[in-house]
Chains A and B, each alone.
Chain A
Amino acid sequence: MEPTSAPSSLENANNDQKKDLSYKKIQEFLSGLSYVSDEFASQDRRLPVHFQTSIAIHTPQSSSTTQPHISGFNEFRKILETSIIGVDEFEEEDLFSQRITGWIERYEFETLDIISEFYTSREINDKTMSHILMALGNANNYKTYNERLMTLKKYLRSPSSTIRYGAVIGILNLDDPKAIPALLKVLKEEPIPIIRGTIKSVINQLRETERK
């Protein structure tokens, strides 16, 4: 089946003044990306290792002889980066979270590997990574649970305060009291008041979860 709408959504989004995208446009854009992702997934549900396999995506203009190729790797990066651009802080967490949790639930450990690889190689910026960490706590996938918890704990010690904040909110979303000792440790060293405050508030919430 030839996807016809997804590439045009991507092209449109790239051409737009992204920061001025209205909520409606963002929604359209994200649904376009969703279409790409679904199509990508349907072509290889086993997920190529580290998305290195190139996946052919037809554009409306392309003929059977001149198909542009977008690698899965680049496509995932685009999703990560462009999902953030232009979305107001008040609105981004939920939309972005849905996209990331969807990928984790579908591709499990491979998604986590790719995220880690992207961040290590600075393919994604701190803000995007922070929102990914928040989303890690929302995924409904038992197999990757420990890995996600470990990842979140690891990033509590990031030199970037943006990343540390994302990790704290990710732990809140995971809602696992097992993370309390790690939070208590970093609380002592945290220099930024709002992050200290968030850590304390998350510890209180996790203690409440523990009591229930």
Chain B
Amino acid sequence: MTYLIRVLTAERWNFEYSEADKPFKANPLGDLRTDHDNLSVFELDKKKNNLNDILLGFALKKYSVSTLQYVELDPKEISKLGFDVVNAKEEGNTLIQAANEAHMNIKIRSADKLVELAKHIYTKTENIQTVKRKEIKKLIEDSLTSGTLTSGDLNCGLKKVFKNS
């Protein structure tokens, strides 16, 4: 089974929600920034072979190394909710080509639909995946050692962290 993955900031989803008496907060929308009404996600292949590439792509966008959390969304469930999911390899803007190949867009037709998706994601945070800080660090170090990346590829923050690698 394939999954669509999206990185989340736990702080934004850290609240109790119930349709009856606990309103859905606005904070999660900060994690769901759209561009041209598209929400960017990455497709994890069936055997999760491309997971490290996607994680590396995420990690290289940050200015320091920290714990990373992402949610796995079932594309069939997303479709059932009325969202179109389309390939968007050309819009993948990570430094890792293999990650960009997995880039997809969820079409968001309205703000209401974005809130609907946020509520769906909220239910999936129960199965959020957490990647240790030291694993993220190792991913970057290994890529530098193998020559997949050079220090020139790193942003100024990461250059400081990996100045001796």
Binding site for B on A (CB under 8 A): 23-24, 89-95, 97, 127, 134, 138, 161-162, 165, 169, 172-173, 175, 191-198, 200-202, 205
Which of B16, B66, B123: most chain A CB closer than 10 A?
B66
Other-chain contact of B63, A91, A161, A193 (Cβ < 8 Å): A91
Identity of the chain A residue whose Cβ is nearest the Cβ of B64 in the assembled complex: A94
Contacts of B132 in A (CB 8 A): 172-173, 175, 205
Other-chain contact of B14, A165, A173, A201 (Cβ < 8 Å): A165
Known A-B contacts A90-B63, A169-B67; A194 and B125 likewise in contact (beta carbons under 8 Å): yes
Known A-B contacts A193-B123, A194-B10; A94 and B66 likewise in contact (beta carbons under 8 Å): yes
| B133 near A93: Cβ-Cβ < 8 Å | yes
CB distance from A70 to the nearest CB of B (A): 28
| B133 near A23: Cβ-Cβ < 8 Å | no
| B128 near A90: Cβ-Cβ < 8 Å | no
| A197 near B14: Cβ-Cβ < 8 Å | no
| B123 near A89: Cβ-Cβ < 8 Å | no
Chain A interface main SS type: helix
| Whole-angstrom CA separation of A200 from B157 in the bound complex | 31
| B10 near A23: Cβ-Cβ < 8 Å | no
| Whole-angstrom CA separation of A95 from B158 in the bound complex | 11
| B122 near A193: Cβ-Cβ < 8 Å | yes
| B69 near A198: Cβ-Cβ < 8 Å | yes
| Whole-angstrom CA separation of A202 from B129 in the bound complex | 9
Identity of the chain A residue whose Cβ is nearest the Cβ of B130 in the assembled complex: A201
Known A-B contacts A165-B10, A192-B16; A91 and B130 likewise in contact (beta carbons under 8 Å): no
Contacts of B77 in A (CB 8 A): none
| Whole-angstrom CA separation of A194 from B71 in the bound complex | 10
| Whole-angstrom CA separation of A192 from B18 in the bound complex | 11
| B130 near A198: Cβ-Cβ < 8 Å | yes
CB distance from B30 to the nearest CB of A (A): 9
Contacts of B122 in A (CB 8 A): 193-194
Other-chain contact of B126, A89, A161, A196 (Cβ < 8 Å): A196
| Whole-angstrom CA separation of A201 from B134 in the bound complex | 16
Contacts of A197 in B (CB 8 A): 125-128
Other-chain contact of A91, B16, B62, B123, B129 (Cβ < 8 Å): B62
B13 within 8 A of A: yes
Contacts of A202 in B (CB 8 A): 130
| Whole-angstrom CA separation of A127 from B11 in the bound complex | 9
Identity of the chain A residue whose Cβ is nearest the Cβ of B133 in the assembled complex: A173
| A91 near B64: Cβ-Cβ < 8 Å | yes
| A23 near B157: Cβ-Cβ < 8 Å | yes
Name the interface residues of B131-148: CB closer than 8 Å to any CB of A. 132-134
Encode B55-79 as 1/0 by CB contact (under 8 A) with A: 0000000111111010000000000
Contacts of B67 in A (CB 8 A): 93, 134, 169, 172-173
Contacts of B81 in A (CB 8 A): none
CB distance from A164 to the nearest CB of B (A): 9
| B14 near A91: Cβ-Cβ < 8 Å | no
CB distance from B139 to the nearest CB of A (A): 15
